[in-house]
Amino acid sequence: MTGGGTGGHTYPALTAIRALQARLAASGRALEVLWIGTQDGLEARVAPAEGIAFTPVATGKIRRSSNPLKMVSPANVKDMARVPLGVAQARKAIADFQPDVVLATGGYVAVPAGLAARLCRRPLVLHEQTVRLGLANRKLAGSATRIAVSSESTIPLLSEEARRIAVVTGNPVRPEVLSGHADKAIETLGLSGFDRRLPTIYVTGGAQGSQQINEVVRDVLPWLLEHANVVHQCGTANVEALHEHSTRLPPGQAARYYLTGFVGPELPDVLALADVVISRSGAGTLAELTALGKAAVFIPLATSAGNEQAHNARHLHEGGAAVALLGEVTAATLRDAVGPLLMEPACRASIAQQARAHGKPDAADRLVDVILSAASG
């Protein structure tokens, strides 16, 4: 296994490992895994916590720019000089471990490990979480045995050679996300003031929260609470300011507003309770919401690598499976976007149905099929 740096690359890898372990265990076999990652990436914490052997290698980060001259920056040149060292380290790790297959889920560390797999003549399976191939997977496509992609719309974007080895699997979703209970969220979070006759909105900007989403929701909050209950995950650093603002809400509205810095193990139950989700449009979020068939309003992170969040959101928006705010985001634009979802149940149901049609809750099993096929030659 190689890939990581962020949760978007790390958690699909972990979900695939768990699914592969379960598949093999069902036939009395065991899985041996070595995770090749970076010392300071998320994978360096996740793998050992899961009991997975981990070895770090050197890698370099490319700082992107629309100006080609800025790409040749001292920092980029210095980091790229580390890649050959990383390839050598990964080659030794793979030669010693002798894997049946190497799975790469993206991130800068996937490049040296993926190249090392080719040097060691080991089958290489790439998994891409976003609509467009990320930079690491583009670099490795020529070395891959199979390329697993998350969306049918990715296939036309591939080269003719890559299309021949591509297969649509979807993006692995943690099984627990699919098994939540709305009533449990009401009980666990103490949402006794929620009016279950109204739809519930879940607002999230990711684990750290999003200042942009927090501010625009704050500005439209009284209007939202006229039509819905709201669970707002804002990031721990933002709780105090938003709580102070919420103290000015009328008591009836305040009872239908739940503010929290972080949603942990209760996330599956919160998602089960939610009728509408307002969030960023990272690949993992899209995979979860489409697998669940949730109506969503996406506010893409403008600074995401390769503008991938905007591509992800636009893909679902054009398919009638979500609402994407791709221009300036204000209280007015958010109100216009979410209004029909709250006040027109048929509209909300239609978008949820289309979202479910795009979802692939069995993505982990599909990816396991590809891995086992590549391993068996």
**Total number of domains constituting the chain:** 2
Contact 221, 257 (CB under 8 A): yes
The answer to whether residues 340 and 197 belong to one domain is yes
Sheet holding 166-168, edge to edge: 102-104, 124-128, 146-149, 166-168
Residues 127-178: tens digit of each pLDDT: 999 888 988 999 999 999 999 999 998 999 999 999 999 999 999 999 999 9
Quick one: 255 exposed, middle or buried, by C-beta within 10 A (0-12, 13-18, 19+)? middle
In a domain, 281, yes or no: yes
The answer to whether residues 348 and 206 belong to one domain is yes
pTM, two decimals, is 0.89
Structural domain span for residue 265: 175-358
Alpha helices (H) along the chain = 7-26, 43-49, 68-71, 74-80, 83-97, 110-119, 135-140, 160-164, 182-189, 211-227, 239-246, 251-254, 267-273, 283-292, 308-318, 331-343, 345-358, 363-376
Q: How far is CA 246 from CA 225, 250, 285, in A?
A: 11, 9, 27
Residues 89-125: tens digit of each pLDDT: 999 999 999 999 999 999 999 999 999 999 999 999 9
Mean predicted confidence (pLDDT) in 312-320: 94
Sign (positive/negative) of CA torsion 247, 252, 255, 256? Answer: negative
**In this structure, which amino acid lies at residue 219?**
D
**Domain CATH for 120:** 3.40.50.2000
Predicted pLDDT of residue 72: 53
The answer to whether residues 184 and 122 belong to one domain is no
The answer to whether residues 164 and 249 belong to one domain is no
Predicted pLDDT of residue 61: 62
Q: How confident is the model at residue 83 (pLDDT cuts 50, 70, 90)?
A: confident
Strand-pairing partners, residue 203, are 232, 278
The answer to whether residues 254 and 193 belong to one domain is yes
The answer to whether residues 44 and 155 belong to one domain is yes
Residues 35-47: tens digit of each pLDDT: 999 999 999 999 9
Q: How confident is the model at residue 6 (pLDDT cuts 50, 70, 90)?
A: confident
Contact 241, 271 (CB under 8 A): no
Two tokens at 187?
């009980």
The answer to whether residues 123 and 229 belong to one domain is no
The answer to whether residues 214 and 138 belong to one domain is no
The answer to whether residues 70 and 159 belong to one domain is yes
In a domain, 284, yes or no: yes
The answer to whether residues 163 and 228 belong to one domain is no
Phi/psi at 159 (nearest 5 deg)? Answer: -70, 165
The answer to whether residues 38 and 125 belong to one domain is yes
The answer to whether residues 274 and 330 belong to one domain is yes
In a domain, 1, yes or no: no
Q: What percent of the chain has pLDDT over 90?
A: 86
Residues 183-209: tens digit of each pLDDT: 999 999 999 999 999 999 999 988 788
